[in-house]
Amino acid sequence: MQINISPQLQAIIRKRCQDTGHTPEEIVAIALRGYLEIDEETLFQTSTIGALVEGVYRGDLTIAELKNYGDFGLGTFNDLDGEMVVLDGQVWQLRSDGQAYPVADEVKTPFATVTFWQADWMATLAQPLNYEELQRYLDTLLPSDNIFYAIKISGQFRHVRTRTIERQDQPTRLVEAAARQPVHEFQSVQGDLIGFWTPSYMKTVNVPGYHFHFLSADRQRGGHVLDVCIERVDIGIDDTPRLRVALPETQEFLAANLTRDTQQELHQAEK
């Protein structure tokens, strides 16, 4: 879609770009989302992390539907077929070969979390930090432990270690599937960490704490982040105080026993 914008409006957009650091595309997207009453401050997710841990790997939400609720996020695909990244409105499937693939709209997801990205504030970090140190630094940026934050970390990484779960054709628990996960190492790579902070009291709903997926800048490689060492990155943080959950109406979800405490298995599978 190509749209003509009047010189007067273009001048206002350019001024706003200077003031905010946003690109013209971002300013137009922000303005349109406001006019169209699209809620940017809501985290949308399908199913729960508790159900995924119990092995509910089939959902009924398509990628086309998911895109209506956000342009930024992460998740997985039916039968646990790799890791999902949603970035700039595009959905990528990071498969067990460590490569990234575009995803067809009719593909379904059993678990995904998205929001409309709009950084509420930015920081730049130009010192080598490992994953633990990066998380401690992020702790100092987040004003509260009690709401969701979408977090994007873009730039140069010394290394990134990821896993990408393999498609599961037999019923398994997440912890068993994750135990066989292929691990990939990327050295000296440009890219983005796409992720969220989830409050610990939400631990049956989403992954508590930080959860990131990596996508390389050339959009060719990535996975669920196990470890990183950053070199020089820009960090964007998007406060997300509202949550909307769409629970699947599949037989698998409806019949699942979701009363057990799965924290130990979740920690083992995700960290």
By the criterion CB under 5 A, which residues form the site for Zn ion? 224
Instruction: Tell me the closest approach of the beta carbon of residue 126 to Zn ion, in angstroms.
Output: 27
Residue 252 phi/psi, 5-degree rounding, is -60, -45
Distance CA 24, CA 37 (A): 20
Q: Which residues of 212-223 are buried (b: 16+ CB within 10 A; e: fewer)?
A: bbbbbeebebbb
Closer residue to Zn ion (CB): 113 or 250: 113
Closer residue to Zn ion (CB): 184 or 224: 224
Q: Apex CA 32: angle with CA 44 and CA 122, to 5°?
A: 65
Instruction: Tell me the closest approach of the beta carbon of residue 247 to Zn ion, in angstroms.
Output: 20
Question: CA torsion, points 266, 79, 184, 94, in degrees to nearest 10?
Answer: -110
Closer residue to Zn ion (CB): 108 or 224: 224
Distance CA 47, CA 231 (A): 35
Instruction: Tell me the closest approach of the beta carbon of residue 84 to Zn ion, in angstroms.
Output: 8
Q: Any alpha helices (H) in the chain, and if so which ranges?
A: 7-20, 24-35, 49-53, 63-66, 131-141, 174-179, 251-255, 263-270
Closer residue to Zn ion (CB): 58 or 211: 211
Instruction: Tell me the closest approach of the beta carbon of residue 163 to Zn ion, in angstroms.
Output: 8
Minimal CB distance to Zn ion: which residue? 224
Instruction: Tell me the closest approach of the beta carbon of residue 36 to Zn ion, in angstroms.
Output: 30
Closer residue to Zn ion (CB): 13 or 138: 138
